[in-house]
Amino acid sequence: MPGLPMNRHAVSMLCLCSAWLACCGAAAATEPASPHKPPESKTVDVVDEYHGQKVADPYRWLEKTDDSDVETWLDAQTAYTRAYLDRFADRQTIKERLEKLYAAETSSPPSVYRDRYFFNRRKGSQNHAVLFVRDGDYKAEPRVVIDPNTFSADGTIALDWTSISPDGSLIAYGKSAGGDERSTLYIRNVATGEQLSEEIPQTRYSSIAWLPDNKSFYYTRYPIVGSVPTGDENYFRKVYYHRIGEDWKNDRLVVGELAQKEEFVSPGANSTNEWMFLTRSVDWSKNDLYFRPLASDEPFRPIAVGLDALTSADLVYGKLFILTNHGASRYRLMIADPEKPTTADWRELIPQQKGVIESFRVIDRRIIINVLEDAHTRIFIHDLEGKRIGEIELPTLGSAGGISGEWDDTEIFFGFESFAYPPANFRYDLKTGQLEKIEQVDIGVNVADYEASQQWVTSKDGTRVPMFVVHRKGVERSGRNPTLLYGYGGFDISITPQFRKGLFVWLDRGGVYASACLRGGGEFGADWHLAGRLEKKQNVFDDFIAAAETLISLKYTDRDHLAIYGGSNGGLLVGACMVQRPDLYRAVICAVPLLDMLRYHQFEIARLWIPEYGSADDPKQFEWLRAYSPYHNVKPGTSYPATLIMTGDSDSRVHPLHAWKMAARLQAATSSDRPILMRMDRKAGHGAGKPLSKIVDAESDQWVFLMNELGVFDQTTETGKPATTTD
């Protein structure tokens, strides 16, 4: 998802058709719509000139969120969408099934802070997971530390992030309302539950580095609203020092000189909590890294500066362990003397692997590396000389993460899941080599009834792209199975096997689910990411189109039974693929999307994404953005697939205007009778911290939409009765 340019190992976007120019002056009022006819949307005569090219923007008026005409339009769109989706009686059945699936208790793997084990657990109909702690032993009786379900009656105030002090005695955390992710920082005493006096605003995604005294910390904060020009409160992230109990307004500025306002700075502590690392970045594909003693004001010492690479580090046993893709696209682990920390004195400890080294931990004089190999996880154990001495055997091809453990202990914890393997938490004893499954989700489904396979897709330029395919055992490749294809393809984010509870609603009705690992992601290292960004973004769309064509050629489905889905950067993906190949899919779900790629960087935090997409302010970059920008490539008279565009009114990452403008343009342009729906969630944002009740409602609408469009429902009725065929 478009998020923040964090070091991925440290802790998250053709000339205009003359027909459009001709219609820009028309001003039709927004009118009510029947379930079969969308509201009409007025157009305005707005034409921008980019580097000598004129580009019309007939729905520019929808960018004015405080305009009463926009509210009227949104109400009409909501009424149309609800009239369409609510007519299916099976929606209630689907919602009840989802509620039952999501009611299964889930827990995160423990995070260890000396003799305390912290974890999140959600059960039943709770909107949010509750933060618990176990004292002294990972099997001890847990007690509540923070219950976000008490923040608000409707669940729309969320716990955004947490940071625990080195001894586990205090926890700093962020809260935000309505999904806007603009956190306020609070502190709680873990033993007593006492809420301390701290209440620090503008701490969105704050990075915290606690000092060894457990009474003070470095943290990041954005400018206070009103102290900078409107919009700039989303930038100028700086590092401050805070001592508990003191007025935050007097906090000392530690890092305030920025290369540019979009620079992303983050402090962090090493495993022993003696050293502070500082990451500085203006690009998703590279960062500078510095360090100094935590309890010192001495100047930061450089580790990696000016490299065209991502770098992170830890300092344990008197040595710097440095993970970098400098000179190694899939990363390698280097080692250096803290007195000679720069690249000239690095020594390779663990070379580049077959897979991508995603993270590492130094625990009990061993190095644990998490490797992504062909888009699934392997965990290897090395000694301090870099020699591989073991591997933790995982249950199946899947995804492991959340590796935690104290540097001077012998136990590690991690979570694991796959498409047909419910999330489980494991404990591994480095002394005995024993692996123990602590707990596993039980959703009341016999997972042995389902299977997942990995297929390989050949993209337009010959690149091989992996794709996972999931379905119930016994499903035949009839060539007409209702199939949903998911993709993302951006920001160095890897798409790996995940257990999706709601997916069983689809699989149990004969549906097939596919997930493609596209260029632009991190599945195969830096080169894979770079091959899908900036001027090479079209590669991502080509990969996804090839995945869709492969599902058809392998006889899983056909064009009348294939849907595509993506959110955020993935919303851009499916938007671009829809306008480039509208003939290839029957239905599209486009969630919290980027769609106007000529103006995207002017809203919310989107200037942070210019290194990934480029900017229309640059003549060369304008050309490639204009070539694929979904909003600008909608063509009147085209038969577009059924489309459900989803957004939230509080989204502070991707402005909902993208969804609004695209919906209006598609509704006016399409020549088919398939619906173009715009679903806006009130008091919701990009997705982080979304309460369970809203998740279930949204998923209910998604599955109803897909089942109707792909023939799972009987198309001759509006009762949602399951069909006997997939005709």
Q: State the DSSP H helix or E strand holding residue 574, giving kind and residue range, or none if neither.
A: helix 569-580
Q: What is the pLDDT of residues 141-194, one digit of tens each?
A: 999 999 999 999 999 999 999 999 999 999 999 999 999 999 999 999 999 999
Choose among 44, 48, 40, 38: nearest CA to 24. Answer: 44
Query: What is the spatial distance between Cα 31 and Cα 482, in angstroms, rounded to a whole number?
Result: 34
Q: Is 430 in contact with 363 (CB distance < 8 Å)?
A: yes
Please say if the pLDDT value at position 17 is more than 80: no
Q: Give residue-wise pLDDT tens across range 427-450.
A: 999 999 999 999 999 999 999 999
CA distance 501 to 369: 29
Helix, strand, coil shares of the chain, percent, nearest 5, are 20, 30, 45
Q: Predicted confidence band at 1 (pLDDT cuts at 50, 70, 90)?
A: very low
pLDDT band (50, 70, 90) for residue 35 = low
Average pLDDT, the chain: 93
568 has catalytic annotation: yes
**207-257, pLDDT tens digit by residue?**
999 999 999 999 999 999 999 999 999 999 999 999 999 999 999 999 999
Q: Which two tokens stand for residue 549?
A: 């064509």
Contacts of 215 (CB under 8 A, 6+ apart): 243, 244
**d(C-alpha 90, C-alpha 393), whole Å:** 42
Lowest mean pLDDT: which of 12-21, 279-288, 515-524?
Answer: 12-21
| Position 651 pLDDT exceeds 70 | yes
Chain-centroid distance, C-alpha 79:
29
Helix boundaries (H) for 150-283 = none
Q: What is the model's pLDDT at position 33?
A: 41
Rounded to an integer, the average pLDDT of 513-537 is 98
Asked whether the beta carbons of 538 and 512 are under 8 A apart, the reply is no
CA atoms within 13 A on the CB side of 108: 18
User: Nearest-5° angle of CA 500, CA 505, CA 506?
Assistant: 90
CB 712 within 8 A of CB 509: yes
Q: Which amino acid is at 188?
A: R
Domains annotated for the chain, with CATH where assigned, are 87-99+449-709 (3.40.50.1820)
**Torsional class of 125: left (φ above 0), alpha (ψ -120 to 50), beta (otherwise):** alpha
Quick check: 28 pLDDT over 60? Answer: no
The answer to whether residues 398 and 414 touch, using CB atoms and an 8 Å cutoff, is no
pLDDT at 722 > cutoff 50:
no
Quick check: 254 and 218 in contact, CB under 8 A?
yes
Q: pLDDT tens-digit profile of 48-102?
A: 999 999 999 999 999 998 899 999 999 999 999 999 999 999 999 999 999 999 9
Say yes or no to pLDDT of 26 above 80.
Answer: no
Amino acid at 95: K
Query: pLDDT above 90 covers what percent of the chain?
Result: 91
Would residue 382 show up in a list of annotated catalytic residues for this protein? Answer: no
**Which of 242, 326, 601, 686 is labelled catalytic?**
686
Q: What's the gap between Cα 298 and its chain centre? A: 36
Q: How far apart are CA 373 and CA 382, in angstroms?
A: 17
Confidence check: pLDDT of 689 > 70: yes
pLDDT of residue 687: 85
359, 568, 652, 700: the catalytic one is 568
Q: With 90 as the cut, is the pLDDT of residue 11 above it?
A: no
